[in-house]
Amino acid sequence: MQSRLALNLILLIVAAALAAVIFFAPGRKDEPVIPLAQVDENAVHSISLQNKEAIAFEKQGNRWWIKSPFSAPANERRIRQLFDIAKAKSEARYPVPQDDLAKFELDKPKATLVLGDVVLSFGGSDPINRHRYARVGDTLHLVADDFFQYLAAPATDYVDKKLLPENAKPVELLLPELHLKMSPDGKWASEPAGKSDEAVHDIVNAWQTARAIEVQRAGKATQGDVIKVSFANDSPIEFIIVQREPDLILARTDWGLQFHLAGETAKRLLGLPQKAPPDTSAPKEKVPPAAEPEPESEPEPP
């Protein structure tokens, strides 16, 4: 009995030792993730993206701006997505076939992204695994095709959709039917009078937080009522009302862009009455009208 227990113990120790050898054996470690390119983001102050149009970005202070094909503040989240593309995992790597670039649609890339001095060109897709061909220097990479929509996006998709600059403090709003102005003591007044302090605060807050649902290029001839927003330490901003219903469209002629805003947001920005909230109280029971007495029948003649 004791010999059997000793044998079982020896077998258990041997099995544990074999498991340890297999687990810690050379080659067991996961292969390191190889990105498309190594990019020092802090050293990058310019980005360009070539798809169906040429888009140029420039870092000014801590903010990114679109410099071409128009000038406007860039959406920082979308800029982050461009940097993340360089971090995409390279699934496979080969020397670039200089004489056969057309096979991978890299002779005329579908998109080219330049992050500082790093150039990434993107061609067609692998018909088997649907991976995208990408060229960085003399290396051809295969990467998961889950970010090409960012590379193919127009310049308007990279515009910051916020109407006013971040942390902007308006001191005057000149709207078509309303004029709001802050006094030196920090109190707002409205013309015509009648707006409550709460209503005025809601309008000002709506402008400070408003974001468009879509940005498009403005037409050449933009006409309409003018909205002017003034600030204490910055130049005023003017918007032209291109459309009021069903959504509000505001144009900035200095940028050549127009911002589309949903209907309820539009009413808050223009200081219009808001839609009354639905009545959630329990419906009252209807009392049926009292039945009218039936007329008495006249007695029949004898």
Longest dimension (CA), the chain: 129
Amino acid making up residue 147: F
Query: Residues near 112 by Cβ (< 8 Å), separated by ≥ 6?
Result: 48, 49, 50, 119, 120, 121, 122
Per the confidence metrics, is the pTM higher than 0.85?
Answer: no
The pLDDT value recorded for residue 263 is: 79
Q: What is the spatial distance between Cα 172 and Cα 4, in angstroms, rounded to a whole number? A: 93
3-class secondary-structure state, position 170: strand
Q: In what order do the strands lie in the sheet with 237-243?
A: 188-191, 179-182, 170-174, 226-231, 237-243, 248-252, 257-261, 214-217
Question: Which two tokens mark 41?
Answer: 């983001």
- Identify the pLDDT of residue 194: 80
Give residue 302's pLDDT.
Answer: 40
pLDDT at 219 (0 to 100):
80
pLDDT at 164: 95
Contact indicator for 42, 112 with CB cutoff of 8 Å: no
Nearest in space to 264 (alpha carbons), one of 279, 281, 280, 277: 277
Q: How far apart are CA 45 and CA 200, in angstroms?
A: 41
Calpha distance 142→133 (Å, rounded) = 5
- What pLDDT is recorded for position 140? 96
Q: What tens-digit pLDDT sequence spans the chain (302 residues)?
A: 555 544 444 434 434 443 443 334 444 456 688 999 999 999 999 999 999 999 999 999 999 999 999 999 999 999 999 999 999 999 999 999 888 899 999 999 999 999 999 999 999 998 888 899 999 999 999 999 999 999 999 999 999 999 999 888 999 999 999 999 999 888 999 998 888 889 999 999 999 999 999 999 998 767 899 999 999 888 999 999 999 988 999 999 999 999 999 878 888 999 876 554 455 555 555 545 554 555 554 444 44
| Cα torsion angle, 170, 171, 173, 178, sign | positive
DSSP strands (E only) in 69-186: 72-73, 92-95, 111-115, 118-125, 131-136, 139-144, 170-174, 179-182
Strand ranges for 23-117 from DSSP E: 46-50, 54-60, 63-68, 72-73, 92-95, 111-115
- The angle subtended at Cα 191 by Cα 188 and Cα 197, nearest 5°, is 35
Please, which residues bridge with residue 140 across strands? 94, 135
